[in-house]
Amino acid sequence: MKLLLKITTFLFCLPALLFAQTQSQEGATLLRPRGGLPFFFEKIKAGKPITVGYLGGSITEAGNGWREQSLTWLQKTYPQAKFREINAGIGGTGSDLGVFRVQTQVLDQKPDLVFVEFAVNDTGKKPEQIYKAMEGIVRKTWRQNPETDLCFVYTLTSDMALTYQQGKLPSSALAMDQIAGHYGIPSVCMGLEVAALAHQGKLIFKGKPEDMPDKIVFSADNVHPYPETGHRLYTEALSKALKQLAAMKVTPKKRTLGRPYIKDNWEAARMISVDELKKQGSWITLTPENDPVALALKHRFSSLLKSTTPGDYIEVQMKGQACGLYDVMGPGTGQYVMEVDQDFKQTISRFDAYCTNYRSNFFVVPTQPNQTHTIRFRVSDEKVDKAAILKTRNQAMNDAQRFQENACYAGKLLLVGELVP
């Protein structure tokens, strides 16, 4: 009875303890230095060549944005070191794809520092999903090289500004900061000053700079900053934080991966070529040399598989937490039917209201982690009402020929787990 009482008391106290932990971290500040960037600055002092990785969404991918501007700042501030960058920004993607991409697109190039930027694109996602992906990124990085420093950076949209103005982190950034706090990773609120300037009436989030010469115009769409204004403010915030981190007296010590923040994190996330998988039907291989879609997406995929024949499928035998595809959506795409062990089916549309052009996309479906599964990604015979879908954004099929196909494309298998022979 006494033991039961102790357990019951602990269970009642646990939510309060978790709430207190969240409360202590929810305040917004420019920099939470935590363990700093000791290996990065040690290499700078030694004048060694340094590789900086930038993993994020379109705000990171943008030309002449904070990525390029911050690298230029590093080069000017520390001329004794030779810097090179890894641009692993992909528009419209969050940490849930980033955890699959980080190995081949960042870690294989042996970075010394990796900035991780997903706060905007992870908006609206459940904290548990953000924990899984962000912790997976951290553990994959330090499993490979414990001397690679990490820094989480938080950008914003106009909708997120109000939360910052209240002195709090938006929900996506707060979830990320839980992971950063657990591992001692510094985090930088690059959008904090942006929100403050907007509150003071000095900054407008959306507009044309020429229409408001007396204001700082952040962006054309409330999200993607102009290089001269929004990105400049991001860079100024990051450079200020980096100066503070450089002043820290932290001796580099080899990191060890302790207990995870959540046990079912996605450290096991992998991106595998679909060429390695079993295929049934008339799949054809597309390359930038023989196909316009593959050419348009050559920075995403070296090649693609494509089928327009209903019933064709790609088959996977796996064991793990989740499985899906990194693929294509666009005017000529249709639907997959994902079949798991022949007793579960889920239709996955590859057409939405933004499909006036081709773009990379992905989907991931959870699986029972302790079971071996046979999964088929089958081309659906059900046609999509593309006109109705486009109409929801006041778009139209101006060239009906472009929308005629209902094809399925496949670029990479996304797997949290292992393939089973």
Quote the pLDDT of residue 26: 77
Instruction: Classify residue 279: in a domain, yes or no.
Output: yes
Residues 160 and 277 both lie in one domain: no
Question: What are the contacts of 40-48 at 24+ separation with CB within 8 A?
Answer: 40/112, 40/113, 40/149, 41/245, 41/246, 42/252, 43/81, 43/112, 44/78, 44/80, 44/81, 47/80, 47/81, 48/81
Same domain, 337 and 379: yes
Q: Is residue 150 part of a domain?
A: yes
Task: Give the separation between CA 369 and CA 382, rounded to whole angstroms.
Answer: 30
Question: What is the C-alpha end-to-end distance of the chain, expressed in Å?
Answer: 50
For helices 192-199 and 158-165, angle between their N-to-C axes, nearest 10 degrees: 80
Same domain assignment for residues 292 and 165: no
What CATH number should be reported for the domain holding residue 317?
Answer: 2.60.120.260
Note down the domain range covering 144: 23-246
Strand extents, DSSP E, 155-294: 187-189, 203-206, 216-219, 269-273, 278-280, 284-286
274 and 241, same structural domain?
no
For residue 391, being part of any structural domain is answered with yes
Please check whether residues 331 and 242 belong to one and the same domain. Answer: no
- All residue ranges of the chain with pLDDT < 70 are 1-25
Tell me, yes or no, whether 224 and 340 share the same domain. Answer: no
Number of domains composing the chain: 2
Unique residue bearing structure tokens 């960042």 = 106
Question: Among candidates 55, 51, 93, which has minimal Cα distance to 74?
Answer: 51
Indicate if 236 and 326 belong to the same structural domain: no
Instruction: Answer yes or no: do 237 and 309 share one domain.
Output: no
User: Both 160 and 291 in a single domain?
Assistant: no
Q: Dihedral sign, CA of 174, 180, 181, 187?
A: negative
Last residue of a domain, one of 246, 281, 315: 246
State whether residue 83 is helix, strand or coil: strand
Same domain? For 46 and 165 the reply is yes
Strands 313-329 and 359-366: antiparallel
Asked whether residue 14 is assigned to any structural domain, the reply reads: no
- Please check whether residue 258 lies inside any domain of the structure: no
Which CATH number does the domain housing residue 157 bear?
Answer: 3.40.50.1110
Structural domain includes residue 257: no
Q: Is 3 a domain residue? A: no
* Same-domain check for residues 230 and 85: yes
The reported pLDDT for the residue numbered 111 is: 98
pLDDT value at residue 25: 64
239 and 275 in a single domain? The answer is no
Inside any domain, residue 218:
yes
| pLDDT in the model for residue 233 | 98
Whether the full predicted model's pTM is greater than 0.85, yes or no, is yes
